[in-house]
């Protein structure tokens, strides 16, 4: 089985961070979104990955090749972003007729991936949501078989959202449906959607079962990213870096502090992730993500997302600042 991870998106909802950093490489609970996904799949036994890259794709390739040198990797370029369906079709020559597990590169799900891989039928990951209109939606029957999928319906007939995890056994049919939809210019919300290809497969008799995941984290916006950071810090707290005795500093867990950081006369936490080689002085930081090689001096931050190489002086309450930024609020 091969894993396909589409990571070609520009991440416009996380501007300005994604001007210089792919969304999948944004730090999260002392790791990155992409490393959390890959680690889950490697633990389940997958050793071959296909990454669909585009925007800042060279950074994705450099990161995974350095971090996972023992994995078999393929990189497929999506020069024109026309949706998830278009992205998956580009992997056809690499995948051939092998089974695939598709996991979207901006979504973290918690489930038993070994169970998913060994299941005898194709599976679509789902979870109940309060308002399914912003997601792909699955309708299922009493036997847990999916009878229909629709992308972002205005009047949903189900509250089961597709979470961005798809186990496909019938890859030949999937690629044929993707190709047919693109040739017929069948778009939903101005893009070629994987959901429409799945509906095509269902119409041609392919059986999909619903697989309900235990947790689903959306990492596509600042507020949900910070919520996910707090949740995962609590989950991974046993694995976070040991907190060193920083000078005149109070650490309120859970926190993750990278290597080479210099922190003094500050209060850090709860729910804070700090990248490597960052300096924090005379500051209070909580519920925030701070990038690497940044410098914070006399600031009060909460619910903030700060990129790498940022310099901030003065007082503030909530910031959303990209890489290579310098701000003086004094």
Average pLDDT of the residues in 44-63 = 92
pLDDT at 330 (0 to 100): 59
In order of 26, 223, 246, 262, the CA distances from 288 in angstroms are 13, 10, 19, 17
The chain-wide mean pLDDT, for the chain, equals 88
The structure's pTM equals 0.86
- Average pLDDT score over residue span 132-151: 92
Helical (H) or strand (E) element with 175: helix 171-183
Residue 67: what pLDDT? 93
At 237 the pLDDT is 67
pLDDT bin (cut points 50, 70, 90) of residue 90 is very high
271 Cβ neighbours under 8 A, 6+ residues apart:
226, 229, 230, 233, 254, 255, 286, 287, 288
What is the arithmetic mean of pLDDT over 299-323?
Answer: 81
Q: Which of 323, 301, 320, 319 is nearest to 310 (CA)?
A: 323
Q: Region 6-35: what's the mean pLDDT?
A: 77
pLDDT score recorded for residue 259 = 87
The whole-number average pLDDT for the span 197-214 is 94
- How far apart are the C-alpha atoms of 95 and 162, rounded to whole Å? 23
**What's the whole-number mean pLDDT along residues 5-11?**
81
Structure confidence at residue 189 (pLDDT): 79
Q: Check pLDDT > 50 for residue 238.
A: no
pLDDT at 319 over 80: no
The label of the residue with tokens 């920083």 reads: 246
**For the chain, what percent of residues have pLDDT higher than 90?**
56
Percent of the chain with pLDDT over 70: 92
Collapsed DSSP state (helix, strand, coil) of residue 318: coil
DSSP 8-state code for residue 19? G
């Amino acid at each position: 089985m091969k894993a396909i991870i589409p990571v070609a998106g520009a991440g416009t909802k996380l501007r300005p961070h994604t001007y210089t950093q792919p969304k999948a490489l944004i730090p999260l609970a002392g790791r990155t979104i992409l490393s959390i996904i890959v680690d889950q799949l490697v633990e389940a036994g997958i050793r071959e990955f296909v990454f669909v890259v585009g925007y800042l794709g060279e950074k994705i390739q450099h990161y995974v090749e350095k971090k996972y040198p023992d994995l078999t990797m393929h990189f497929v370029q999506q020069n024109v972003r026309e949706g998830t369906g278009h992205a998956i079709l580009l992997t056809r020559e690499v995948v051939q007729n092998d089974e695939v597990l598709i996991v979207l590169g901006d979504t973290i799900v918690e489930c038993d991936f070994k169970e998913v891989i060994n299941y005898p039928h194709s599976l679509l990951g789902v979870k109940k949501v309060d308002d399914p209109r912003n997601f792909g939606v699955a309708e299922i029957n009493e036997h847990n078989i999916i009878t229909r999928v629709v992308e972002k319906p205005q009047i949903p007939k189900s509250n089961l959202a597709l979470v961005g995890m798809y186990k496909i056994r019938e890859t030949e049919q999937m690629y044929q449906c993707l190709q047919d939809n693109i040739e017929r210019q069948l778009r939903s919300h101005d893009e070629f959607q994987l959901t429409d290809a799945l509906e095509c497969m269902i119409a041609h008799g392919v059986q999909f079962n619903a697989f309900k995941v235990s947790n689903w984290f959306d990492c596509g916006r600042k507020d949900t990213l910070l919520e996910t950071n707090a949740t995962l810090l609590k989950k991974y707290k046993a694995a976070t870096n040991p907190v060193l005795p920083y000078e005149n500093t109070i650490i309120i867990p859970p926190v993750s502090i990278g290597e080479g950081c210099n922190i003094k006369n500050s209060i850090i936490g709860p729910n804070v992730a700090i990248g490597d080689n960052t300096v924090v002085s005379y500051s209070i930081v909580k519920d925030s993500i701070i990038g690497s090689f940044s410098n914070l001096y006399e600031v009060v931050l909460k619910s903030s997302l700060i990129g790498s190489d940022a310099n901030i002086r003065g007082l503030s309450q909530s910031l959303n600042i990209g890489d290579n930024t310098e701000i003086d609020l004094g």
